A and B are shown apart, each in its own frame.
Chain A
Amino acid sequence: MSDAALQARRNVLRRGLKPAVFMLCLVPLVLLVARGFANDLSANPVEFIIRTLGDWALRFLLLALAVTPLRLATGWNEVARLRRMLGLFAFTYVVLHLLAYTGLDQGFDFVGLWNDVMKRIYITVGMAAFALLLPLAVTSADAMIRKLGGARWRMLHRLAYPAGVLAVIHYFLMIKAGYQQPTVYAVILAVLLGVRLVKRA
């Protein structure tokens, strides 16, 4: 293959990467909706919906946090272009998770929700994680990066780290017994954050 042809192929791949990943990120949501139409959401649909969305929120958050370590480890610089999208998908699933809880479970009873935030520690911690992600979503546009300046923007977006930690704690706190699942996420998160510490040291 000629250089030009190789370059053209690379361009197609480059251009195709983001849309392809975008479609992949929608798959969990589409599957959830499909299961809803198939009347296949377990005996407790509300819980099933909340938990599925919570699981994917956490997974996308970890995927977003995995981008930089992956780039450092493989030298595949293209991947950096996926970071913002993965982060925004994490936020989208968090919002849907929160919406399922507020709407389906609590019937938009905001007094009840406030009581929950104050009284139930795993909800408090979940809300704190959400509060940390909110400014990141708001400042995700290019214009905001320019406005804040790269250094400050990067500073701000380090909030993703404590948000990840709080999300995992949130998961631990909601469980009665048997901590295998959140332990797996905790280990992955520790590795992803640990890589950054090691790199800096």
Chain B
Amino acid sequence: MLIHAKKASDAASHEITPESVYLNRRGFMAGAAAVAVGGFAGNAGAAVLPAANGAGAFENLKQGYRKLGEKDQVSTYEAISGYNNYYEFGTSKSDPAANAKNFKPMPWTIKVDGLCAKPGTIAIEDLLKPHTLEDRIYRHRCVEAWSMVIPWVGVPLAEVVKQFEPLGSAKYIAFETIVRPEEMPGQRSARILPWPYIEGLRLDEANHPLAILAVGIYGKTLLNQNGAPLRLVAPWKYGFKNVKSIVRISFTEQQPKNTWQVMAPDEYGFYANVNPHVDHPRWSQATERRIGSGNVLSAFEARRTTLMFNGYQEEVGQLYAGMDLTRYY
């Protein structure tokens, strides 16, 4: 499927897929040149969660951030939902799609604790209710040096943070993935990773307008293998920061120990900002392979240069002013 700056009306009929219709309707078809930023599409209103696991489509999404480069083609739904790192469901890329069918993303509650004025346990509907859901389109860069482009649905993390009123002493926010070995076969082996999966952000990173809590992809609720029903997306960081199926949010003074840092501290740090100048021992981070076009001939495409902060330097660079990013990788 090709998504160049052409309208669905001039696409060949075999190119008109549910995905291209969605992208076109949401104004995602054009490259960066023809982008209309901001504005509401329809009556954006309070967030409502349709049927879980990709079954339901969101109505009245607010038109959110959508800046892309010329060569950033949105990845196919098949690629986004069939090629996943979600070790709770198994370690191979095809395991999550195969093993996540029995996972139950509804009903869902999130425990909020730590240094905030409004701790407690909250249902996902109530967590989302005060906010407006947006569609956003981000590059997604895995630490394994591949990347995709993903049309998310979500709410700004900053708004959710505000809702719980973090105390002045709170410096970090920690997230935890659910532990349900009965539904998540990978969790039956403690040798894969120590469960639960933990990730964290500095509070000012969490408050950055690019960070979102995502509940959907391609206008539909998140599939289980994509981290249903609620996951983090911080597009300037490597994918493993984007913790999935979140059941706990904690405000802390100490920097959380994120899972991969615990596993291999010389390979994975806390920040995990996309940085072409700091190599991982197993993968050079200078370049990446763009995948998800749905075409085997992409195998003959050259790798692309990885951009600092995954191309979001202009937006997030000032968060790290003066920091030695070789040390804080």
Which secondary structure dominates chain B's binding surface?
loop
Q: Are A120 and B295 in contact (CB under 8 A)?
A: no
Q: Are B282 and A122 in contact (CB under 8 A)?
A: yes
Q: Are B289 and A44 in contact (CB under 8 A)?
A: yes
Interface membership of B303, Cβ < 8 A: yes
Which residue, A36, A45, A175, has most C-beta atoms of chain B within 10 A?
A: A45
Interface membership of B321, Cβ < 8 A: no
Q: Whole-angstrom distance from the CB of A41 to the nearest CB of chain B? A: 5
Q: Whole-angstrom distance from the CB of A44 to the nearest CB of chain B? A: 4
Q: Are A105 and B289 in contact (CB under 8 A)?
A: yes
The number of A-B residue pairs with CB atoms under 8 Å apart is 75
Interface membership of A43, Cβ < 8 A: yes
1/0 per residue B193-219: CB within 8 Å of A?
Answer: 100000000000000000000000000
Q: Are B302 and A107 in contact (CB under 8 A)?
A: yes
Q: Are A45 and B296 in contact (CB under 8 A)?
A: yes
Interface membership of A119, Cβ < 8 A: yes
Q: Are B292 and A119 in contact (CB under 8 A)?
A: no
Interface membership of B279, Cβ < 8 A: yes
Residues of B within 8 A of A (CB): 75-76, 78-79, 82-83, 87, 90-91, 93-94, 144, 146, 148, 186, 189, 191-193, 263, 279, 281-284, 289, 291-292, 294-296, 298-300, 302-303
Q: Are B192 and A177 in contact (CB under 8 A)?
A: yes
Interface membership of A39, Cβ < 8 A: yes
What is the interface residue range for chain A against chain B? 20 to 34
What residues on A are CB-neighbors of B90 within 8 Å?
178
Residue among A43, A104, A116, A122 making CB contact with B79, cutoff 8 Å: A43
Q: Are B263 and A42 in contact (CB under 8 A)?
A: no
Q: Are A43 and B292 in contact (CB under 8 A)?
A: yes
Closest to A123 in B: B282
Q: Are A45 and B263 in contact (CB under 8 A)?
A: no
Closest to B84 in A: A43
Residues of A within 8 A of B (CB): 36, 39-47, 49, 104-107, 112, 115-116, 119-122, 173-179
What residues on B are CB-neighbors of A120 within 8 Å?
281-284
Assess A43 versus B299: contact at CB under 8 Å? Given A174-B282, A177-B263.
no
CA distance A40 to B79 in the complex (A): 12
What residues on A are CB-neighbors of B93 within 8 Å?
42-44
Chain A to chain B contacts (Cβ below 8 Å), 17 pairs: A39-B295, A40-B296, A42-B82, A42-B94, A43-B76, A43-B78, A43-B294, A44-B289, A45-B291, A45-B296, A104-B300, A107-B303, A112-B284, A120-B281, A174-B282, A176-B144, A177-B87
Assess A116 versus B296: contact at CB under 8 Å? Given A42-B94, A43-B78, A44-B291.
no
Assess A46 versus B192: contact at CB under 8 Å? Given A177-B87, A178-B87.
no
What residues on B are CB-neighbors of A119 within 8 Å?
279, 281, 284
